[in-house]
Amino acid sequence: MLSISILFSNNSYRPIISSIEIKGNTKTRDYVIKREIIHPLNKPLDSLIVIEDRNRHDNLGLFSESTWRIIPLEDGSAKLVYAVQESIQRTPPLALPNYKEDTGWSLAGLWIVNNFRGKNQSLALGGTIGGEDTYGFSFSDPWIFGDHISLTLNIGRTIYEHRFLDKNIDVNSFFLGFGKWYGSSIKTSFGIEIEKKSFTNDQNEDKFFYLGTTGNVKYDTRDIYWNPGKGVLFSQTLYHQEGIQPNDWRMTLWTQSFSWYKKINKREKKQVIALNTSLNKKFGMKSDLWLDYFGNSYTIRGWPLPDPNLYFSKNEQFRFGHESVLLSIEYRQELIPKRATSFGTEFGLALVFFSDAGIIANQWDNFKGEIPMQGYGFGLRIPFPMVSVIRVDYGWGYRNGVWNSGAIHFGVGQKF
């Protein structure tokens, strides 16, 4: 059996691929892997297509490692073998600590199956107690039928204290969504949501019962989702909330995002420059109840999280608003490339240096003359089963000639 490195010491070696084989999958059904393979049979080997196939296997989120090799056959053709090592794909019913920036620490009781029935379906049932009280059920299938048509279903209830308003929030929701790929780069999705949401404190209660619809279009040419080395991701999203009670309330959020990734070295340990710019605009009946803020792991890092004392003091009103524009740049250096361990998990480590800048305001017209918020710092990225990446960032905020004392941020998944 020849290895890839031996076979490709001579770049002119392009055998006819007469068969394709899948190895290493004990839970995942063969067709889940095979439907991601584009390389044709009875055609000369095209290593660029094979690498793209391998990347799609990695992006399924089911495998700690995915590789490929070719095996010469006696008739002069070759067999193309895709090999995978499955990662941890389910948790036993258990209780774990859970942290979210907006709500703090909670104790989560959950049961997750990330490859339900070996069909790449995701099933989760659980709840939390603490900073966030929740219970719910979710199910998703990225290719439930037809030509790459996906399904998402979420049902649940969440109760938590607002990050900076002196109010408790109670949300009951039902969401059903469908998506479809067009070719290898364009993905569309559409969802319908019925939600009941209340904001309460000792003085008053604001209740909303509404129908939400969301539509999204993405153009995605990234190679590896968890740590892209090339490609772009362009996304347009419209989310409309139409009041049922009160029936004269409505609001629409328009979100645009563009990300670009470029590997700048030729070594195994990737060095990547990544850039993202995003814009958020709201239409309709905006009020303080629906305010957004800057200064967390998904906006501008390096700023302490806001609380009611900060918000009501009005000392940093530049951190709150309904509409925003944001720019982030990261330099990503792999220290340990992702590899599979003997326990079926992945192991790796990346170092990141980041720069964030942006403006948030109540109205788009208020952007003129506004001084941008900025954040600079560094962080670590650790690949982890079922959630893709765990990240930790530490940074310092800067605005109008003044630096703050810094802040640490925890997050799941890359910022962009």
What is the location of CATH 3.10.20.310 in the chain?
4-86
Residue appearing with tokens 């490339």: 337
Q: Which residues of 93-120 are buried (b: 16+ CB within 10 A; e: fewer)?
A: eeeeebebeebeebebebebbbbbebeb
Strands of the sheet with 63-72, listed across from one edge? 43-44, 16-23, 78-86, 63-72
Residues of the chain with pLDDT under 50: 1-10
Instruction: Find the angle CA(226)-CA(229)-CA(230) to the nearest 5 degrees.
Output: 115
With vertex at residue 203, the alpha carbon angle to CA 201 and CA 204, rounded to the nearest 5 degrees, is 75
- List the one residue out of 159, 228, 181 whose CA is nearest residue 36: 181
Phi-psi region of 39 (alpha: psi -120 to 50; beta: other; left: phi over 0): beta
What type of residue sits at position 17?
I
On whether the CB atoms of residues 111 and 125 are closer than 8 A, the answer is yes
Distance CA 383, CA 386 (A): 9
List, by residue range, all CATH 2.40.160.50 domains of the chain: 162-412
What pLDDT, on a 0 to 100 scale, did the predictor assign at position 91? 72
**pLDDT value at position 8?**
45
Non-local (6+) Cβ contacts of 368 within 8 A are none
Q: How many CB atoms lie within 10 A of CB 346?
A: 22
**Tokens coding 197:** 């949401």
CATH topology of domain 4-86: Ubiquitin-like (UB roll) (3.10.20)
Q: How far is Cα 372 from Cα 14, in angstroms, rounded to an integer?
A: 54
Question: In the chain, what is the greatest distance between 2 CA atoms, to the nearest angstrom?
Answer: 83
Matching CATH number, 162-412, of 3.40.50.10490, 1.10.580.10, 1.10.357.10, 2.40.160.50: 2.40.160.50
- The rounded distance, in Å, linking the Cα atoms of 108 and 114 is 17
Tens of pLDDT, residues 35-75: 999 999 999 999 999 999 999 999 998 998 899 999 999 99
CB-CB contact of 150 with 180 (8 Å): yes
* CA 67/CA 229 separation, integer angstroms: 17
Of the candidates 132, 122, 180, which has an alpha carbon nearest to the alpha carbon of residue 156? 132
What local confidence, expressed as pLDDT, does residue 96 receive? 77
Note the pTM of the prediction, 2 decimals: 0.86
pLDDT tens sequence across 292-312: 999 999 999 999 999 999 999
